[in-house]
Amino acid sequence: MRKIGLGLLAVFLGIGAAFAAPKVDDSKDWRDVDPANLVLMDVRYGTIAIELDPQFAPANVARFKALVRAGFYDNTSFYRVIDGFVAQGGKGGESFKQWPTIKGEMDRPAGGLDFTPLGAPDLYAPQVGNVDGFPVGEEKGRAWILHCPGTIAFARDKTADSAATEFYIVLGEGARQLDRNYTAFGRVIDGMQYVQKLNRGDVDVDNGVIPLVSRRDPIIRVRMASDVPPIQRPHYQVLRTDTARFAAAKDARMHPNSPYLVRKPPAALDVCTMPIPVRTVAH
């Protein structure tokens, strides 16, 4: 039998090939993820690995770490989940004296960041690119983490400085409108497939809140990787986004050279769809 059906494969080869296991030492192209900024969130489908970035939101990152280390999120749930938008988790609708509201950090000065422009326009921001793999927007000297799929941010009440404990993970690009309105402070670097498995609510009925508690996916356990014994701790590396290698990968995606393409795609690139390679390294 002739092999067909895998016809879509080569469309991605340009990307896959750029990151194929190299024979040479390429360690300078990769950045180690600091276990002190790595969150391991267990859901029933697997473990979601989230890298926090204190450069963008030091106070909010500190709060999230403190909540994690206090076991606050253990045995809570993703109770409001809207497909294509966000999965919201925590102890829905409660406030806690020991966790007062904190100041929003929706953006920060653009200076002092290792920002690499994407090299393509964006619908929502005048300039977009990457900082250490995080998708970032820039405008008039300010910078912020974009609400791309995988971004984690704090939910809040109506005022800017009203976040306390609840967070959400972005599921789809419908959340880009929340850029600079909520404090985005990290991103999923592994296990996004488990986030996508979370049971959804109905935006038209309860605005995404899942009424049946048993249908809400539990957040089983959340730990800082730095609190996990080193031998059990995953060692992640993220491809550096300030390298010639990443620039070549972006170029290959904007100008794909695949035998499967019968028409040249437009030379466009949505920053949220540019894969940021992540790998684990054996101890």
- Within 100-119, the residues that bind its own copies by CB under 8 A are 104, 106
Using the contact rule CB under 8 A, the part of the chain among 33-41, 128-136, 157-165, 238-246 near its own copies is 157-165
**Residue 59 engages its own copies in binding (rule: CB under 8 A):** no
String marking each residue 68-107 x if it binds its own copies according to CB under 8 A: ------------x-xxxxx-x-xxxxxx--------x-x-
From 47, 199, 226, 237, residue interacting with its own copies (rule: CB under 8 A): 199
Stretch that binds its own copies, among 25-33, 57-65, 205-213, 222-230 (CB under 8 A): 205-213
List 5, 22, 100, 111, residue binding its own copies (CB under 8 A): 5
Q: Residue 11, interface with its own copies (CB under 8 A)? A: yes
Shorter beta-carbon distance to its own copies: residue 212 or 262: 262
Per CB under 8 A, which of residues 218..257 are in contact with its own copies? 253, 256
Give the relative orientation of helices 244-254 and 9-18 as an angle to the nearest 10 degrees.
170
Closest CA to 184 of 227, 234, 149: 149
Q: Which long-range contacts (CB under 8 A, 24 or more apart) does 88-94 make?
A: 88/155, 88/166, 88/167, 88/168, 88/208, 89/166, 89/167, 89/168, 89/169, 89/219, 90/155, 90/165, 90/166, 90/167, 91/165, 91/166, 92/166, 92/209
Return the number of the residue (40 or 81) whose C-beta is nearest its own copies: 81
Q: What is the DSSP letter of 34?
A: P
**How near is the Cβ of 120 to its own copies at its closest, in Å?**
8
Positive or negative: CA dihedral 184, 48, 226, 51: negative
- Please, what is the minimum distance in Å from the beta carbon of residue 269 to its own copies? 8
Segment interacting with its own copies, rule: CB under 8 A, options 66-74, 162-170, 224-232, 241-249: 162-170
d(CA 222, CA 227): 11
